[in-house]
A and B are shown apart, each in its own frame.
Chain A
Amino acid sequence: MNHLDTIEAESIYIIREAFNRIDKLGMLWSFGKDSNVLVWLAKKAFFGHVPFPIVNIDTGKKMPEMYAFRDRYRHEWNLDLVIGECPPIDEIDPTLPPATRSAARKTEGLKALIKQHGYNGLIAGIRRDEEGTRAKERVFSPRGEGGKWDFRDQPPEFWDQYNTEFPPGTHVRIHPILHWTELDIWRYVQRERIPLVDLYFAKNGKRYRSLGDKDITFPVDSQADTIEKIIAELETTQISERSGRAMDHESEDSFERLRSDGYL
């Protein structure tokens, strides 16, 4: 088995654990490269089927290409898509910096959807190498009341024995591609021929490395207009993946504040 086979097998194992252990399960899908890989892995785990709802928290501010992608692949991949709404910005904590506050709408939308549908667990496509607080995540990450993440006292997790039972009222996030890198994602997309939004590919010297809301996400300088060129670019780049995501950089702890409150 090569490296991609190994990490693929680990992710499938985790997705199957979640499906077996969590009774009301959903998988988050944002139409980005990571969550497309996640849906793809679910189809691999269940031999072409996805046996749980695919959940999208719609901020209403995604780029048009992303909505077009959603509308095409929800049918092509035969997904049971559940779309959740986000509250308006004036209902969000005004002490947060502007872009962070905007991103926090998604947290509130997520909480409302979890409540409405009664999900005990949501599978999410975050990765350790994206960002410092995500690096500290568990594969099965319990959230207390209101979706809070207590990063100071996380339960131990080792030997592929995940915490899959929780006290009543607990919600769990499951992170099957936590151990993947950005390069792993691209090499896997290449190998499996997974469709992507074409915003990732350079046009006029710019491309998006990470996709989010249109007003707080910015493209980076790049000439990479094919997967091969993107992989070559990532092998040498010194720019952080989320450098184009404004809420990560407004203050030292802005992203940490978002995540402790339940952001992905």
Chain B
Amino acid sequence: MVAETSRNSLKIVVVGHVDHGKSTIVGRLIHATGALPEAKFAAIQAMSAKRGMPFEWAFLMDALQAERDQGITIDTTQIHFKTDARDYVLIDAPGHKEFLKNMVTGAASADAAILVVDGHDGIQEQTRRHAYLLHILGIRRVVALVNKMDLVDYAERRFVEVRQELLAYLGAIGLAAADVAVVPVSGRNGDLIAAPSPKMGWYTGPTLLAALDAIPQPVAELDLPLRLPIQDVYKLDARRIIAGRIEAGRLHVGDTLLFSPSSKTARVASIESWNTSGAEITAGAGKSIGITLDEQIFVERGQVASHLETAPILSNVFRARIFWLGHQPLRSGARYRLKFMTNDVEARVEKIERVIDTADLSSKPTEAVERNAVAEIVLRARAVLALDEFTTSPRTGRFVLVEDYTIVGGGIISMEGYPDQRVRGSVKSTNLTPVEDRVLLADRWRFNGHRSGIMWFTGYSGSGKSTMAMELERILFSKGFQVAVLDGDNIRHGLNADLGFSPEDRVQNIRRVGEVAALMARSGTIVITAFISPYLADRERVRAAHRELFHEIHIATPLEVCEARDVKGLYRKARAGEIADFTGVSAPYEPPPSPELVIDGSKETIADSLARLVAYVERVFAIDEQTLEPPYSI
């Protein structure tokens, strides 16, 4: 017999639609394996009798008073049983839709799943949703139970129908048929749980227990590239110990480790331990270790150690498939805390690619991901991260999103369409490129997820500059852009309060506005200026000084239209001679010969104008990683 301390253990999650009989299956399973203490059995008997029910297996898992009264499992519970083959930990997951977060909490740690389907009612919404989540959670092995066979007279025909539908769906979401067993059972009567059932003589496959025992034992990820996320650094006695758990691969004393994303390297001097026999010289996946290095390099929590040749990807942007648990929908442009391995950074939802309907696997574009939905998104972090794709390193290729202190979603990483930003060739060098200690504009752009610059609106008074500037600011802000408006009236009350409307003062006014706008733009903001700025030479001076930031937008609403609107009554006053030097009436306006964009308020609605402005901003201020590579400077 296998020594008890080295017995294998398998974690199983039980999922499925509400009322399809999950808890009853669990009760049957642990009774059949002798794991139910007699005291507990007697207690449940007493509870059932008190409520005037026959023996209610579900009471076992629904141990809390509140749950018994509501008749649904609120949270996951875990229970242990064993067969001759190995030990099992059973996680009973709730089926009620509202409790998805608990199902995920339970299922995420499982090695395999039991998917319970009511043989009478067939596959339902949550059957599909749970199956789909198992797939995202990385659970490949499934024993699907067609339960309540007693309600369909143990009919083979019905079993075959449900099995076909199940296998079709599981196949469509990428589960291999070889990894799925389908067993007809009756939880209520105990058929085919642990022993063959005479009522289903037509069935020749394994019982539930036999199907579980047939699941191969998962192996630690020893053969994958080494990943040691740094959890902490302890200074003990004279030792400086780097602590963490090896998530994949193995390391040996003497190995050269690469720390990402800092790209520093050092060799493992020792593996530290307490109360073990003799010094360890090697450690593998799953082990929490402490190591010392041969060099005093700067290492901190959040970095990940690997070998040189098999380093993680460096990127500040990645694609992800997520499940969303937040009470508020996930929105494009919103920022969340991104936690993966031991790292914790802020990230912005750059794009929601699609929301996936788990019922029919169709997808549709959307602006928001609702609670309990599954979606594909693009996330952009403020800094370059060391990460892995889920398909190559499952434990380090997944993450959670946090909002207001609570985990609101989980996801798996794909780099499809995004390049590894690690500069090849520099990795193996011990004399690495020194990190720039000043903040580059490109870094600010990465941080914000967009470029910055000046959207210089020019046009007559009343052409719609201020209205459109304010509206554009609101829209861009809601999309997650760093944006600000410099408006003529506001600036003239403060910064330029000393200036009038003489040609000299106008020149000075525009010069100052240009300098302020450029300062703001260089700090990463998209600045929208809304000034008449009538002189071509003034605008060209700003453009020449800040060529790479300057975008001239001609708000070309004709003078007659502006004058007819006369929102502020200024044209009337100017015509009456009460205002001197009024552009279009008593002072010239020089239209731009080749503006970046022309908006004519007399030819299109404000909404159409704004749509064109937003499209322009999204196009020209988008980040192109190629052009952000150092030594980019402006």
Interface residues of A (CB under 8 A from B): 1-6, 8-10, 12-13, 16-17, 19-20, 43-49, 128-129, 132-133, 135-136, 138, 151-152, 154-159, 161, 163, 165-167, 179, 181, 183, 187, 191-192, 231, 235, 237-240, 243, 252-253, 256
- In contact, B243 and A159 (Cβ under 8 angstroms): no
Q: B64 touches which one: A133, A179, A238 (CB < 8 A)? A: A133
Q: State in angstroms the CA–CA spacing of A129 and B90 once bound together.
A: 11
**Beta-carbon contact of A181 and B64 below 8 Å:** no
Report how far A13 CA is from B245 CA in the complex, Å: 7
* Min C-beta distance of A70 to chain B, whole Å: 21
**Is B594 located at the chain interface by the 8 A CB criterion?**
no
Query: B275 to chain A: which residues have CB within 8 Å?
Result: 43-44, 48, 192
Separation of A252 and B4 alpha carbons in the complex (Å): 35
Q: Which residues of B contact A157 (CB under 8 A)?
A: 105, 407
Q: How far is the CA of A243 from the CA of B39 in the complex (A)?
A: 8
Contacting residues, chain B, for A48 (C-beta < 8 A): 274-275
B6 interface residue (CB < 8 Å to A): yes
Q: Which of B74, B234, B288 contacts A151 (CB 8 A)?
A: B74
CA distance A171 to B273 in the complex (A): 31
Q: Given the complex, which residues of A lie within 8 Å of B79, measured CB to CB? A: 129, 135
Q: Which of chain A's residues has its CB closest to B401's CB? A: A161
Given known contacts A155-B406, A238-B39, A239-B39, A16 and B232 CB-to-CB distance under 8 angstroms: yes
- Enumerate 20 A-B pairs (CB-CB under 8 Å) in ascending A order: A1-B220, A1-B286, A1-B287, A13-B231, A44-B273, A46-B234, A46-B236, A128-B78, A129-B78, A132-B64, A132-B77, A138-B105, A151-B64, A151-B66, A155-B407, A156-B102, A237-B37, A240-B40, A252-B65, A256-B65
Contact mask B319-344 → A, CB, 8 Å, 1/0?
00000010000000000000110000
Question: B405 within 8 Å of A by Cβ?
Answer: yes
Alpha-carbon separation in the docked complex, A192 to B273 (Å):
13
Query: Which positions 206-240 of chain B face chain A at CB distance < 8 Å?
Result: 220, 231-232, 234, 236, 239
Q: Confirm or deny: B5 has a beta carbon within 8 angstroms of a beta carbon on chain A.
A: yes
Q: Digit string of B262-282 for contact with A (CB within 8 Å is 1, else 0)? A: 000000000011110000000
Q: Are B405 and A9 in contact (CB under 8 A)?
A: no
- Is A3 in contact with B290, judged by CB distance below 8 angstroms? no
> Could you tell me the distance between the alpha carbons of A129 and B243 in the complex, rounded to whole angstroms?
29
The 10 closest A-B pairs by CB, nearest first: A132-B63, A158-B108, A156-B101, A12-B288, A135-B77, A253-B65, A9-B288, A238-B38, A136-B75, A161-B400
- Please name the residue on chain A nearest to B272 by beta carbon: A47
Decide yes or no: A129 and B80 within 8 Å by CB, A47-B273, A152-B66 being known contacts: yes
Closest to A45 in B: B288
With A135-B77, A238-B38 already in contact, the answer to whether A3 and B6 are too (CB < 8 A) is yes
Judging by beta carbons under 8 Å apart, are B5 and A136 in contact? no
A135: chain B residues within 8 A (beta carbon): 63, 77-79
The answer to whether B5 and A4 have CB atoms under 8 Å apart is yes
- Residue among A3, A8, A166 facing the most chain B CB atoms (10 A cut-off): A3
**Quick one: which of A1, A43, A156, A231 contacts B4, CB cutoff 8 A?**
A231
Q: Which residues from A are CB-within-8-Å of B325? A: 156
Which residues in B have their C-beta under 8 angstroms from that of A158?
Answer: 104-105, 107-109, 400, 407, 410
Interface check B241, CB cutoff 8 A: yes
A163 & B406 in contact (Cβ 8 Å cutoff): yes
Q: Give a binary string over B282-324; 1 marks a CB under 8 Å from any A CB, 0 the rest.
A: 0010111010000000000100000000000000000000000
Closest CB in chain B relative to A28 CB, distance in Å? 21
B63–A17 CB distance below 8 A: no
Interface residues of B in 391-440 (CB under 8 A from A): 398-400, 402, 405-407, 410
Closest B residue by C-beta to A132: B63
Complex formed: what's the CA distance from A68 to B122 in Å?
A: 62
Known contacts A156-B101, A161-B400, A240-B39; A133 and B4 CB within 8 A of each other: no
Please give the distance in Å from A177's CB to the nearest CB on chain B. 13
Could you tell me the distance in whole angstroms from the C-beta of A245 to the nearest C-beta in chain B?
A: 12
Instruction: Given A151-B75, A157-B105, output 15 extra A-B contacts at Cβ < 8 Å.
Output: A1-B220, A1-B284, A2-B6, A3-B8, A4-B5, A9-B287, A47-B234, A155-B407, A156-B101, A156-B102, A159-B108, A161-B399, A163-B407, A187-B5, A191-B5
Cβ contacts under 8 Å, B109 to chain A? 158
Contact across chains for A136 and B64 when beta carbons are under 8 A apart: yes
- Determine the chain B residues whose CB is within 8 A of the CB of A256 once the complex forms: 64-65
What is the distance, in angstroms, from B620's C-beta to the closest C-beta of chain A? 37
A48–B47 Cα distance when bound, in Å, is 48
If A45-B288, A256-B64 touch, whether A17 touches B6 (CB-CB below 8 Å) is: no
Which one of B239, B325, B400, B410 has the greatest number of beta carbons of chain A within 10 Å?
Answer: B400
Q: In the complex, what residues of A have CB within 8 A of residue B609's CB?
A: none
Output the residue of B36, B63, B234 with the most chain A CB within 10 A.
B63
> CB-CB < 8 A to B234: which residues of A?
46-47
Answer yes or no: B7 CB below 8 A from chain A CBs: yes
Chain B residue nearest in CB terms to A129: B80
Q: Are A16 and B231 in contact (CB under 8 A)?
A: yes
Give CA–CA (A154, B105) in the complex, Å: 10
Q: How far is the CB of B46 from chain A (nearest CB, A)?
A: 9
**A157 CA to B288 CA, complexed, in Å:** 20
Task: Tell me whether A13 and B288 are in contact in the complex, defined as CB-CB below 8 angstroms, given that A2-B6, A167-B405, A235-B4 are known contacts.
Answer: yes
CA of A43 to CA of B105, assembled, Å = 29
* A240-B37 in contact given A128-B78, A154-B75, A156-B101 (Cβ < 8 Å): yes
Across the interface, do B37 and A239 meet the contact criterion of CB distance under 8 Å? Answer: yes
A136 to B220, CA, bound (A): 27
Q: Is A47 touching B241 in the complex (CB atoms < 8 A)?
A: yes
Q: Complex: how many Å from CA A235 to CA B301?
A: 41
Within the assembled complex, what's the spacing in Å between the Cα atoms of A9 and B284? 11
> Is B9 in contact with chain A by the CB < 8 A criterion?
yes
Q: How far does the Cβ of B29 sit from chain A's closest Cβ, in whole Å? A: 16
A187 neighbours in B (Cβ, 8 Å) = 4-5
- Given the complex of chains A and B, what is the CA–CA distance between A247 and B42 in angstroms? 18
